[in-house]
Amino acid sequence: SAVISQKPSRDICQRGTSLTIQCQVDSQVTMMFWYRQQPGQSLTLIATANQGSEATYESGFVIDKFPISRPNLTFSTLTVSNMSPEDSSIYLCSVEDRVGVTGTDTQYFGPGTRLTVL
Amino acid sequence: KQEVTQIPAALSVPEGENLVLNCSFTDSAIYNLQWFRQDPGKGLTSLLLIQSSQREQTSGRLNASLDKSSGRSTLYIAASQPGDSATYLCAVRAAGGNKLVFGAGTILRVKS
Protein backbone atom coordinates (compact mmCIF):
# COMPACT_ATOMS: atom_id res chain seq x y z
CA SER A 1 0.00 0.00 0.00
CA ALA A 2 1.01 3.64 -0.40
CA VAL A 3 1.77 5.94 2.53
CA ILE A 4 0.30 9.39 2.02
CA SER A 5 0.96 12.55 3.99
CA GLN A 6 -0.84 15.87 3.79
CA LYS A 7 0.12 19.34 4.97
CA PRO A 8 -1.30 21.15 6.79
CA SER A 9 -3.38 18.74 8.87
CA ARG A 10 -5.73 21.57 9.76
CA ASP A 11 -6.06 25.32 9.36
CA ILE A 12 -8.36 28.18 10.21
CA CYS A 13 -8.50 30.84 7.51
CA GLN A 14 -10.15 34.15 6.92
CA ARG A 15 -12.76 34.72 4.22
CA GLY A 16 -11.24 35.82 0.91
CA THR A 17 -7.84 34.23 1.44
CA SER A 18 -6.38 31.13 -0.24
CA LEU A 19 -4.84 27.96 1.17
CA THR A 20 -2.60 25.45 -0.58
CA ILE A 21 -2.71 21.85 0.60
CA GLN A 22 0.16 19.50 -0.16
CA CYS A 23 -0.03 15.75 -0.74
CA GLN A 24 3.11 13.60 -0.71
CA VAL A 25 3.21 9.87 -1.51
CA ASP A 26 6.05 7.53 -0.58
CA SER A 27 6.05 5.82 -3.99
CA GLN A 28 5.26 6.64 -7.59
CA VAL A 29 1.59 6.28 -8.39
CA THR A 30 -0.29 6.57 -11.62
CA MET A 31 -3.38 8.37 -10.34
CA MET A 32 -3.87 11.07 -7.71
CA PHE A 33 -7.22 12.50 -6.72
CA TRP A 34 -8.60 15.27 -4.52
CA TYR A 35 -11.85 14.78 -2.58
CA ARG A 36 -13.90 17.05 -0.36
CA GLN A 37 -15.91 15.98 2.67
CA GLN A 38 -18.27 18.67 3.87
CA PRO A 39 -19.44 18.56 7.49
CA GLY A 40 -21.70 15.59 8.11
CA GLN A 41 -21.54 14.45 4.49
CA SER A 42 -19.69 11.85 2.50
CA LEU A 43 -16.84 12.35 0.08
CA THR A 44 -17.14 14.06 -3.29
CA LEU A 45 -14.46 13.97 -5.97
CA ILE A 46 -13.13 17.43 -6.87
CA ALA A 47 -10.65 16.48 -9.58
CA THR A 48 -8.08 14.03 -10.87
CA ALA A 49 -4.55 15.43 -10.72
CA ASN A 50 -2.74 14.60 -13.95
CA GLN A 51 1.03 14.55 -14.05
CA GLY A 52 2.34 17.06 -16.55
CA SER A 53 -1.05 18.34 -17.68
CA GLU A 54 -4.11 20.17 -16.41
CA ALA A 55 -6.29 18.47 -13.83
CA THR A 56 -9.62 16.94 -14.81
CA TYR A 57 -12.43 18.53 -12.80
CA GLU A 58 -15.78 17.05 -11.83
CA SER A 59 -19.04 18.82 -12.48
CA GLY A 60 -19.46 21.72 -10.07
CA PHE A 61 -15.73 22.29 -9.53
CA VAL A 62 -13.62 24.73 -11.54
CA ILE A 63 -9.93 25.41 -11.94
CA ASP A 64 -10.16 29.04 -10.86
CA LYS A 65 -11.54 28.01 -7.48
CA PHE A 66 -9.49 24.82 -6.98
CA PRO A 67 -6.23 25.04 -8.95
CA ILE A 68 -4.25 21.80 -8.80
CA SER A 69 -0.66 21.02 -9.57
CA ARG A 70 1.08 17.69 -10.04
CA PRO A 71 4.72 18.21 -10.95
CA ASN A 72 5.74 14.55 -10.56
CA LEU A 73 4.42 11.07 -9.72
CA THR A 74 4.66 11.50 -5.94
CA PHE A 75 3.40 15.01 -5.21
CA SER A 76 0.35 17.20 -5.77
CA THR A 77 -1.12 20.41 -4.41
CA LEU A 78 -4.70 21.67 -4.17
CA THR A 79 -5.37 25.36 -3.62
CA VAL A 80 -8.69 26.55 -2.26
CA SER A 81 -8.99 30.12 -3.58
CA ASN A 82 -10.96 33.11 -2.38
CA MET A 83 -12.38 31.08 0.47
CA SER A 84 -15.83 31.44 2.01
CA PRO A 85 -17.34 29.66 5.03
CA GLU A 86 -18.96 27.19 2.60
CA ASP A 87 -15.48 25.89 1.81
CA SER A 88 -15.09 24.60 5.36
CA SER A 89 -14.50 20.89 4.82
CA ILE A 90 -12.02 18.09 5.08
CA TYR A 91 -9.93 17.87 1.92
CA LEU A 92 -8.46 14.46 1.18
CA CYS A 93 -5.84 13.33 -1.27
CA SER A 94 -6.06 9.80 -2.61
CA VAL A 95 -3.91 7.67 -4.87
CA GLU A 96 -4.40 4.56 -6.87
CA ASP A 97 -1.93 1.78 -6.32
CA ARG A 98 -1.83 -0.66 -9.19
CA VAL A 99 -0.53 -3.92 -7.86
CA GLY A 100 0.60 -6.70 -10.16
CA VAL A 101 -0.92 -7.87 -13.37
CA THR A 102 -4.42 -8.19 -11.98
CA GLY A 103 -4.44 -4.52 -11.02
CA THR A 104 -6.43 -4.35 -7.80
CA ASP A 105 -6.79 -0.59 -8.28
CA THR A 106 -7.26 0.00 -4.59
CA GLN A 107 -7.51 3.68 -3.72
CA TYR A 108 -5.68 4.85 -0.62
CA PHE A 109 -6.40 8.06 1.21
CA GLY A 110 -4.31 10.57 3.07
CA PRO A 111 -5.17 11.73 6.60
CA GLY A 112 -6.99 14.79 5.30
CA THR A 113 -6.75 18.54 5.87
CA ARG A 114 -9.47 20.02 8.05
CA LEU A 115 -10.20 23.55 6.85
CA THR A 116 -12.33 26.05 8.73
CA VAL A 117 -13.12 29.37 7.06
CA LEU A 118 -14.31 32.22 9.26
CA LYS B 1 -25.86 8.91 -12.43
CA GLN B 2 -24.57 6.43 -9.87
CA GLU B 3 -26.08 6.72 -6.41
CA VAL B 4 -24.87 4.79 -3.40
CA THR B 5 -27.01 4.24 -0.32
CA GLN B 6 -25.94 2.79 3.00
CA ILE B 7 -28.26 1.33 5.61
CA PRO B 8 -28.44 1.77 8.53
CA ALA B 9 -27.18 5.32 8.98
CA ALA B 10 -26.15 4.49 12.52
CA LEU B 11 -25.84 1.33 14.56
CA SER B 12 -25.10 0.71 18.23
CA VAL B 13 -24.36 -2.84 19.40
CA PRO B 14 -22.90 -4.54 22.46
CA GLU B 15 -19.42 -5.97 22.21
CA GLY B 16 -19.24 -9.46 20.75
CA GLU B 17 -22.19 -9.19 18.39
CA ASN B 18 -21.96 -10.08 14.73
CA LEU B 19 -23.30 -7.34 12.50
CA VAL B 20 -24.07 -6.52 8.88
CA LEU B 21 -23.76 -3.20 7.11
CA ASN B 22 -25.57 -2.73 3.83
CA CYS B 23 -24.66 -0.83 0.68
CA SER B 24 -26.75 -0.51 -2.47
CA PHE B 25 -25.97 1.16 -5.78
CA THR B 26 -28.17 2.12 -8.71
CA ASP B 27 -25.93 1.38 -11.69
CA SER B 28 -24.66 -2.20 -11.84
CA ALA B 29 -21.95 -1.36 -14.40
CA ILE B 30 -19.23 -1.15 -11.81
CA TYR B 31 -15.53 -1.94 -11.97
CA ASN B 32 -15.11 -2.58 -8.25
CA LEU B 33 -16.51 -1.79 -4.84
CA GLN B 34 -14.43 -0.73 -1.87
CA TRP B 35 -15.24 -0.60 1.85
CA PHE B 36 -13.48 1.99 4.00
CA ARG B 37 -13.32 2.87 7.64
CA GLN B 38 -13.09 6.47 8.85
CA ASP B 39 -12.26 7.37 12.43
CA PRO B 40 -13.41 10.78 13.74
CA GLY B 41 -11.36 13.62 12.25
CA LYS B 42 -9.19 11.19 10.31
CA GLY B 43 -8.72 10.00 6.75
CA LEU B 44 -9.99 6.75 5.26
CA THR B 45 -8.57 3.29 5.78
CA SER B 46 -9.22 0.78 3.01
CA LEU B 47 -10.74 -2.42 4.42
CA LEU B 48 -11.72 -4.56 1.47
CA LEU B 49 -11.96 -4.24 -2.30
CA ILE B 50 -14.16 -6.50 -4.40
CA GLN B 51 -13.71 -6.63 -8.16
CA SER B 52 -16.88 -6.78 -10.23
CA SER B 53 -16.13 -10.41 -11.13
CA GLN B 54 -15.82 -11.47 -7.49
CA ARG B 55 -18.52 -12.46 -5.03
CA GLU B 56 -16.75 -11.82 -1.75
CA GLN B 57 -13.54 -10.87 0.02
CA THR B 58 -12.41 -11.66 3.54
CA SER B 59 -9.90 -10.05 5.86
CA GLY B 60 -9.76 -11.24 9.46
CA ARG B 61 -13.14 -10.64 11.09
CA LEU B 62 -14.41 -8.78 8.04
CA ASN B 63 -16.24 -10.30 5.09
CA ALA B 64 -17.63 -8.30 2.20
CA SER B 65 -19.97 -9.71 -0.40
CA LEU B 66 -21.06 -8.32 -3.75
CA ASP B 67 -24.17 -9.04 -5.80
CA LYS B 68 -23.60 -6.84 -8.82
CA SER B 69 -26.80 -7.74 -10.63
CA SER B 70 -28.95 -6.61 -7.74
CA GLY B 71 -26.71 -3.66 -6.89
CA ARG B 72 -25.89 -4.72 -3.36
CA SER B 73 -22.95 -5.30 -1.08
CA THR B 74 -22.77 -6.23 2.57
CA LEU B 75 -19.97 -5.89 5.09
CA TYR B 76 -20.11 -8.52 7.81
CA ILE B 77 -18.18 -7.89 11.02
CA ALA B 78 -17.79 -10.87 13.31
CA ALA B 79 -17.39 -10.66 17.07
CA SER B 80 -17.45 -6.86 17.17
CA GLN B 81 -15.08 -4.98 19.47
CA PRO B 82 -15.12 -1.41 20.83
CA GLY B 83 -12.17 -0.68 18.54
CA ASP B 84 -14.45 -1.30 15.57
CA SER B 85 -16.35 1.89 16.40
CA ALA B 86 -16.02 4.18 13.37
CA THR B 87 -17.86 5.31 10.25
CA TYR B 88 -17.93 2.69 7.52
CA LEU B 89 -18.09 3.94 3.94
CA CYS B 90 -18.93 2.04 0.80
CA ALA B 91 -17.67 3.34 -2.56
CA VAL B 92 -18.18 2.10 -6.10
CA ARG B 93 -16.05 2.69 -9.13
CA ALA B 94 -17.73 2.72 -12.52
CA ALA B 95 -16.52 0.50 -15.32
CA GLY B 96 -14.15 2.52 -17.49
CA GLY B 97 -13.65 5.25 -14.92
CA ASN B 98 -11.48 6.17 -11.94
CA LYS B 99 -13.95 8.10 -9.86
CA LEU B 100 -15.25 6.63 -6.60
CA VAL B 101 -18.86 7.38 -5.69
CA PHE B 102 -19.36 7.17 -1.95
CA GLY B 103 -22.33 6.37 0.22
CA ALA B 104 -23.13 8.54 3.22
CA GLY B 105 -21.72 5.94 5.60
CA THR B 106 -22.85 3.92 8.60
CA ILE B 107 -21.77 5.20 12.01
CA LEU B 108 -21.00 2.16 14.15
CA ARG B 109 -20.67 2.20 17.91
CA VAL B 110 -19.66 -0.97 19.74
CA LYS B 111 -20.31 -0.73 23.47
CA SER B 112 -18.10 -2.51 25.97
Tens-place pLDDT, residues B55-105: 999 999 999 999 999 999 999 999 999 999 999 999 999 888 888 999 999
Q: Is the pLDDT confidence value at A101 over 60?
A: no
B2 part of contact set with chain A, CB < 8 Å: no
Tens-place pLDDT, residues A79-94: 999 999 999 999 999 9
Q: How far apart are CA A105 and CA A25, in angstroms?
A: 16
- Kindly list the residues from chain B whose CB atom is less than 8 angstroms away from the CB atom of residue A107: 34, 46, 91, 93, 100
% of residues, chain A, pLDDT over 90: 73
- Kindly list the residues from chain B whose CB atom is less than 8 angstroms away from the CB atom of residue A7: none
How many residues appear in chain A? 118
A58 part of contact set with chain B, CB < 8 Å: yes
Distance from CA of A17 to the nearest CA of B (A): 24
